[in-house]
Amino acid sequence: MVYRIVRTVLSVLFRVIYRPRVTGLENIPARGPVILASNHLSFVDSMVIPMVVPRRVAFLAKSDYFTGTGVKGTLSRWWFNGFGMVPVDRDDSRAAQVSLDKALAILAGGGAFGIYPEGTRSRDGRLYRGRTGVAFLAMTSGAPVVPVALTGTEKLQPVGTTLPRVAKVTVRFGAPIDFAGRYDAVPAGRARREATDEVMAAIHAMSGQELAGSFNERPSGV
């Protein structure tokens, strides 16, 4: 209920104020498990995508957003729960595996799961190499991957700012990529790498970003 109210109200406001350009929504299955794999330019990406997709999309978020106290903590929990975020403790030594387990549970329930293969936000606007978690999820769950390209969200909320600004935002959804049976005869590690590279190539074709050619490391303390 909270998700439906928050998403409905904010989606209307977002479309009225920002008038985002959205293409390829027909590529998202109306039901059943699906992985939305996107480039990552801003903190608000995990809110922009759910506001333009006609079905619920779950993203992972730091557990700190759900554990605050007082009015600020209550508002934070309400906000992130309202966007369907799933908490994960990044300081847990098993955080990576726990994240994958939670994602698989969402997909097993027929849900839509959003993921950033780059791992963290691009601070220079380039597109970094994808980590293979997206391929692991697709091959384990059997869910198709819909590549997503965001443009302009880095101006909507630049790194280091707390309040959104008015900016032109474009969200493109590419054709679904189905990996079922395609890599059965390929060693697992190589299969995940090749599948991930295919997803990143699809994102790059839509975003037009300069390729970094390396992995994006999360800054310490972030």
In angstroms, the CA 55 to CA 125 distance is: 28
Q: Note the pLDDT tens digit of each residue in 204-220.
A: 999 999 999 999 987 66
Tokens at residue 205, please?
Answer: 């074709």
pLDDT at 219: 66
pLDDT at 222 over 60: no
- Kindly report the average pLDDT of the chain as a whole number: 89
In angstroms, the CA 144 to CA 35 distance is: 6
Q: What percent of the chain has pLDDT over 90?
A: 64
* Reported confidence tier of residue 57, pLDDT bands at 50, 70, 90: very high
Q: Is 204 within 8 Å of 211 (Cβ atoms)? A: yes
pLDDT at 221 over 60: no
Q: Note the pLDDT tens digit of each residue in 178-192.
A: 999 999 999 999 999
Mean pLDDT value across residues 83-109: 84
Mean pLDDT value across residues 2-26: 83
In angstroms, the CA 213 to CA 197 distance is: 11
Type of residue found at 159: V
pLDDT at 93: 66
Whether the pTM exceeds 0.85: the reply is yes
Q: Where are the alpha helices (DSSP H) in the chain?
A: 2-18, 45-52, 70-82, 95-108, 133-141, 153-156, 188-207
Query: Going by DSSP bridges, is the β-strand pair 170-173/145-151 parallel, antiparallel, or unpaired?
Result: antiparallel
Q: How many residues does the chain have?
A: 222
Among 64-68, 78-82, 120-124, the range of highest mean pLDDT: 120-124
Among 92-96, 134-138, 159-163, the range of highest mean pLDDT: 134-138
Mean pLDDT value across residues 192-208: 98
**Distance in Å from the first CA to the final CA of the chain:** 31
